[in-house]
Structure 1
Amino acid sequence: MRSSALSRTQTVAKTVIETEGGVVAAQNSLAAEAGAEVLRAGGDAVDAAVATSFAIGVLEPWMSGPAGGGAMMLWRADEEQAIALNHGMRAPMALDPADYPLTGKGVAGDLFPWEQVVEDRNIRGATAVAVPGLVDGLGQAHGRWGRMPWAELLGPAIAHARRGMLVDWYAGLCIASTTRELAKDPDAAALFLVDGQWPNIGAWTALSETRLDQSRMADSLDAIARGGARALYDGDVGAAMAADMQAKGGSLSHDDLRAYRAEFHPALTFDYRGGQVHAVPGLTAGPTLRHALTVAAQTELGGTAPDGAGYAAYARGLRSAYAERLRGMGDDGESPQAPGTTTHFSVVDRKGNMVSQTQTLLSIFGARVVSPSTGFLMNNGIMWFDPVPGRPNSLGPGKRCLMNVCPTLGSIGDTRFAIGASGGRKIVSAVAQLSGFMLDYGMDIGAAFHSPRVDVSGGAVVVADETLPEAVLEALRAESKVATTRRTVFPYAFACPAGVMRRGGKNSGCTEIMSPWGDAICE
């Protein structure tokens, strides 16, 4: 007997257009439009990335925002160079691991199966807030390659915040998923809830006109537009945000913000089946991606689409890579029941410059705490650390957080792509397979994004798209336990990717086909 009432005959697809102009692919179509408008005005891919980043922080605020962090991969066509930018979060210098005692009652219930901490202090509330890095990273990238005025690039985000994000059915669903936790913080409740409940999105056939009041966020963004990226760190905006968190019991200080600097790094570059892949090195999922693809490359593949041997090779590589990650980096994986709250967008301009940017608050709605002075929803980056002392990723003051983000560039022949995904532990599986689809089988970005995937994230079970042929499922079952599931709108059983491609001088882009908000917008 079937357990799901979801339609078996409905098909979902996204249109992919090739153009000589630039393309922005993002998990929110209005944010993608903000970036595309910058490209139309003659901006660089980095300019478009700044506009998209700030806009998506307003339009998808539970996924990322100025109080979050992330990582970026850049391809500079004029320099023929891939460059990594790490703007991940750090633990505050005043953080004391003794303030996070264990309950002794088993594992916590959010993204990571860490030992449970008293009052979930590492997961929610001001005690879970880490030093944000996103805005400094954007500022450094813009200072190096941006062509358009910084203030102009923040204009779309400010305008959207002044108007307030429209709470449609999808936004209502996201807010409803975390209503109980949001209600615990008066400022989060005031921003996202109505009388302590999720917003009314209208009757069955009615059109919603409910909007969030993001006016305070608009004022803060305006200050950052006028004062530059460092206004969040050195100026009044940062001072107010830190004071808000300390008033709520957190350890984030203005000195932490003033000391923060994002870091450029040489890309983690490796060969793969006649092509090249570039990822972010260090405490990201970049090394895990390299391991997965290196193992997958040991299996000879052929044809124009992956068969059982292909999917088994990717699964084998991911299984080995996660075993190494758990052993050496201190990341214990994540709970398979909990969704990650991250967003990804990719940009290519008409000259071939590319940006692949993943940014996050970590959990959905981050720490579920809003800074009332700034209007920013805060991250819960402290949850990235293992609360048990003496381990590779244990809590500690000033430490950089270990992230699952995996913004990636790839190339083979005259084809180059920039991809990434949201989805916490699911990100590497998506990026590895999408890279393989394009590098192993020559797929264009539309074919790759519409192809079914598997998820291998460190657990004993391979999660496979139920539309895969039985022969593929049997090949997977020969090496692992397999569970099949649907690609749905919410929740996501697989990661939610976005990417762009440049092939033969033409640009294209695509986003996760099940994402109701995601789009690739052309210049």
Structure 2
Amino acid sequence: MQNSVIEHWEVTKPAVFSSKGLVSSQHHLASDAGAAILSAGGNAVDAAIATGLVLGTVEPWMSGPGGGGYMTIYLAKEKSIKVVEFGMRAPFNSVPEDYPLASGGMASSDAFHWPRVEGDANIHGSLSVAVPGYIKGVSLALEKFGTMDWKDVIEPACQHAEWGLPIDWYSASKINSFMRELSAYEETRLTYFPEGFAPVLNLEGGINTIHLGHLGKTYRMLQTGGAESYYQGELAELIVKDLNTAGSRITLRDLREYEASIAEPISTRYRDTDVYAPGSLTAGPSIIQALDELTANFKPGARPEGDAYAAYTRALLSAYEYRLQNLGEGAQTSTDQTNTTHICVSDSEGNIVSHTQTIMSGFGSRIMLPQTGILMNNGMMWFDPRPGLANSVIGGRRPLSNMCPVIGVKDNGNVFAVGACGGRKIFPAVFQLVSFLVDFAMDVSSAAHQPRLDVSGTNLVTIMNSLDESIITELEQTFSQTRLRPNGVSPNFFALPQILERQKSGETSGACFIPSPHAKVSAAN
């Protein structure tokens, strides 16, 4: 009898090469839009923002204007790294009593293994919505590090939002898998199931589309009114009115006083590479800890063997134990802070962007705002619902997140960007990919195709079933809880990474999540 997912196929994708710039993302339409920005003279930051804005319209279950994120930027001229922080935060009026613990069990969450809350109030519905920072964050990144005007960078997303969500078998399956929860919220149900049925693809090869409510109008309002219109003015009032009608605690003050920020990254020296990541409240401190442990306890050979994967597992177990016990805005840390999507971008000048954005779970809170078409996040799920802890709910606090957009600078002059989507599975994937690129000098294609494992908050070690049988056997004999799973299209037992590396010569190679039919690396002309 079959008791787990089995996929009898092998998918490969070749790397893409260019000296003019690359965009790697989870959707080909978004990657193409970003590459067009590069071709029009924009830099990597311009292209990353344009790509991300389009992603909010073509894979709305992953990210969008109702979410938040982090962007790590390598500035080639200055040879410096900056981080733009725009994670979500709790409404000022949030209180722990909004999230009473259920009688038993753990949350049905892809974020952290928190105790379950009554009615899953922190996972979907109005009280799961945190204050969104996405529009404020990408606007700040554009102002400080971009070269193009906001109206030009947002134009591709305006067009896609007006066109609607293209439906093929993959997008239809994503929507159908959330049908029960999406149907509980009227505007969401009317949008994604307009005739009361799940969307179907055109069997003749054409593309049906779903009209995304007023999202096209909202993007045009953002284009003409600027990013600040999301946080003050008519658009802000529409957002708050719909949220309050649904029962959210978010107020106009929450939007008006939200601030994105520019910060220095945290870093570590790993072999011959300086690795940079966002600071506290992301998975950055955890990946630094795991890499430091690998430095101390593992000496790489010619290729990753059983000892490498055992070392990965031990480092991840240790880092996650510390992470869940100690990290959060209330914790004393050494630095100052799903469904998600990741973008890697390079330009002809050598600037590199590693950018993660999210609305948290698949379809976020599942609430689509009637007057704006914005699908809101469920960022309150990032908080531990138990009071009095480092990551507990407090009004105005930012929660611990799993995002980890990394940039590495090698001694030979190469610069790479790595990131992923996949909730708590992000950090284990990024950690191993850094090791593949540094310890074994893999090119991006080899790293993207190399089997990985996942250890993300429990003692369970999930191993890609494409790993060598001898290594699988060794891991099964070493660790008490293991399972084999495919790195498949869906469900995703492992994170979905994007990678690129720019050689000192200027030649850049990019790779994207291999099994996805949508993920693509696009090159500038």
Q: Same fold (TM over 0.5)?
A: yes
**Structure 1 residues 101 and 7, CA gap change in structure 2 (3 angstroms):** closer
Q: Which residue of 2 aligns with 1:150?
A: 150
Structure 1 position 480, deviation (Å): 1.3
Supply the AA of the counterpart residue of 2:101: L
Structure 1 position 467, deviation (Å): 1.6
Structure 1 position 106, deviation (Å): 3.2
Higher mean Cα deviation, 72-81 or 111-120? Answer: 111-120
Q: What is the rounded CA distance, in whole Å, between the counterparts of 1:187 and 1:5 in structure 2?
A: 33
Is the contact made by 1:423 and 1:494 (CA closer than 8 Å) also made in structure 2? yes
Is the contact made by 2:213 and 2:372 (CA closer than 8 Å) also made in structure 1? no
Residue among 405, 421, 441 paired with 1:407: 405
Q: Which residue of 1 aligns with 2:449?
A: 450
Q: What is the rounded CA distance, in whole Å, between the counterparts of 2:82 and 2:382 in structure 1?
A: 25
Residue among 212, 215, 235 paired with 1:214: 212
Q: Which residue of 2 aligns with 1:80?
A: 79
Structure 1 position 330, deviation (Å): 5.8
**Structure 1 residues 311 and 108, CA gap change in structure 2 (3 angstroms):** closer
Supply the AA of the counterpart residue of 1:521: S
Is the contact made by 1:183 and 1:196 (CA closer than 8 Å) also made in structure 2? no
Q: What SS is found at the alignment partner of 1:377?
A: coil
Higher mean Cα deviation, 119-128 or 73-82? Answer: 119-128
Report the TM-score when normalising by structure 1: 0.95
**Structure 1 residues 6 and 477, CA gap change in structure 2 (3 angstroms):** closer
Q: Which residue of 2 aligns with 1:476?
A: 475
Q: What is the rounded CA distance, in whole Å, between the counterparts of 1:406 and 1:330 in structure 2?
A: 15
Cα deviation code 1:426-477 (max 9, x no counterpart): 1011100100000111111111001111111121121111121123223323
Q: What is the rounded CA distance, in whole Å, between the counterparts of 2:234 and 2:2 in structure 1?
A: 57
Spell out the pairing of 1:36-75 with structure 2 (5 A cutoff): 36-75=35-74
Q: What is the rounded CA distance, in whole Å, between the counterparts of 2:91 and 2:285 in structure 1?
A: 26
**Structure 1 residues 478 and 272, CA gap change in structure 2 (3 angstroms):** farther
Q: Which residue of 2 aligns with 1:423?
A: 422
The alignment status of 1:128 with 2:124, answered yes or no, reads no
Is the contact made by 1:101 and 1:117 (CA closer than 8 Å) also made in structure 2? yes
Structure 1 position 411, deviation (Å): 2.0
Supply the AA of the counterpart residue of 2:522: I
Supply the AA of the counterpart residue of 1:95: S
Structure 1 position 2, deviation (Å): 6.4
Q: Which residue of 2 aligns with 1:30?
A: 29
The alignment status of 1:512 with 2:510, answered yes or no, reads no
Spell out the pairing of 1:282-431 with structure 2 (5 A cutoff): 282-329=280-327, 340-412=338-410, 413-431=412-430
Report the TM-score when normalising by structure 2: 0.94
The alignment status of 1:486 with 2:489, answered yes or no, reads no
Supply the AA of the counterpart residue of 1:516: P
Structure 1 position 209, deviation (Å): 3.3
Supply the AA of the counterpart residue of 1:522: A
- How many pairs does the alignment contain? 512
Q: What is the rounded CA distance, in whole Å, between the counterparts of 1:290 and 1:141 in structure 2?
A: 24
Q: What SS is found at the alignment partner of 2:209?
A: coil
**Structure 1 residues 189 and 5, CA gap change in structure 2 (3 angstroms):** closer
Is the contact made by 1:304 and 1:443 (CA closer than 8 Å) also made in structure 2? no
**Structure 1 residues 223 and 288, CA gap change in structure 2 (3 angstroms):** same
Q: Which residue of 1 aligns with 2:333?
A: none
Q: Which residue of 2 aligns with 1:160?
A: 160
Q: What is the rounded CA distance, in whole Å, between the counterparts of 2:4 and 2:243 in structure 1?
A: 43
Is the contact made by 2:70 and 2:83 (CA closer than 8 Å) also made in structure 1? yes
The alignment status of 1:139 with 2:151, answered yes or no, reads no
Supply the AA of the counterpart residue of 1:169: W
Q: What is the rounded CA distance, in whole Å, between the counterparts of 2:422 and 2:31 in structure 1?
A: 19
- How well do the aligned residues superpose, as a CA RMSD in angstroms? 1.6
Supply the AA of the counterpart residue of 1:262: A
Q: What is the rounded CA distance, in whole Å, between the counterparts of 1:330 and 1:262 in structure 2?
A: 18
Higher mean Cα deviation, 301-310 or 258-267? Answer: 301-310
Q: What is the rounded CA distance, in whole Å, between the counterparts of 1:119 and 1:280 in structure 2?
A: 33
**Structure 1 residues 129 and 3, CA gap change in structure 2 (3 angstroms):** closer
Is the contact made by 2:5 and 2:486 (CA closer than 8 Å) also made in structure 1? no
Q: Which residue of 2 aligns with 1:335?
A: none
Is the contact made by 1:162 and 1:215 (CA closer than 8 Å) also made in structure 2? no
Structure 1 position 132, deviation (Å): 0.3
Is the contact made by 1:167 and 1:208 (CA closer than 8 Å) also made in structure 2? no
Q: What SS is found at the alignment partner of 2:136?
A: helix
Q: What is the rounded CA distance, in whole Å, between the counterparts of 1:32 and 1:91 in structure 2?
A: 32
Q: Which residue of 2 aligns with 1:244?
A: 242
**Structure 1 residues 5 and 486, CA gap change in structure 2 (3 angstroms):** closer
Cα deviation code 1:6-33 (max 9, x no counterpart): 554x321112122111000000110011
Q: What SS is found at the alignment partner of 1:371?
A: coil
Higher mean Cα deviation, 493-502 or 117-126? Answer: 117-126
Structure 1 position 479, deviation (Å): 3.2
Supply the AA of the counterpart residue of 2:209: R
Q: What is the rounded CA distance, in whole Å, between the counterparts of 2:498 and 2:125 in structure 1?
A: 30
Structure 1 position 311, deviation (Å): 1.5
Higher mean Cα deviation, 432-441 or 300-309? Answer: 300-309
Higher mean Cα deviation, 468-477 or 186-195? Answer: 468-477
Q: Which residue of 1 aligns with 2:500?
A: 500
Structure 1 position 161, deviation (Å): 1.1
Is the contact made by 2:213 and 2:370 (CA closer than 8 Å) also made in structure 1? no
Q: What is the rounded CA distance, in whole Å, between the counterparts of 1:86 and 1:139 in structure 2?
A: 12
Q: What SS is found at the alignment partner of 1:82?
A: strand
Is the contact made by 1:368 and 1:378 (CA closer than 8 Å) also made in structure 2? yes
Cα deviation code 1:30-76 (max 9, x no counterpart): 00111000000110111001100100000100100001011110000
Q: What SS is found at the alignment partner of 2:154?
A: helix
Structure 1 position 115, deviation (Å): 2.7
**Structure 1 residues 128 and 54, CA gap change in structure 2 (3 angstroms):** same
**Structure 1 residues 438 and 366, CA gap change in structure 2 (3 angstroms):** same
Structure 1 position 5, deviation (Å): 8.4
In structure 2, runs of 5+ residues without a counterpart are 330-337
Higher mean Cα deviation, 208-217 or 244-253? Answer: 208-217
Spell out the pairing of 1:453-464 with structure 2 (5 A cutoff): 453-464=452-463
Q: What is the rounded CA distance, in whole Å, between the counterparts of 1:170 and 1:3 in structure 2?
A: 23
Cα deviation code 1:74-111 (max 9, x no counterpart): 00001110111111001011112223222324333233
Higher mean Cα deviation, 294-303 or 133-142? Answer: 294-303
Cα deviation code 1:174-205 (max 9, x no counterpart): 00111111111111011111333311224xx4
Cα deviation code 1:330-374 (max 9, x no counterpart): 69xxxxxxxx21100110101110111111111110001011111
**Structure 1 residues 270 and 113, CA gap change in structure 2 (3 angstroms):** closer
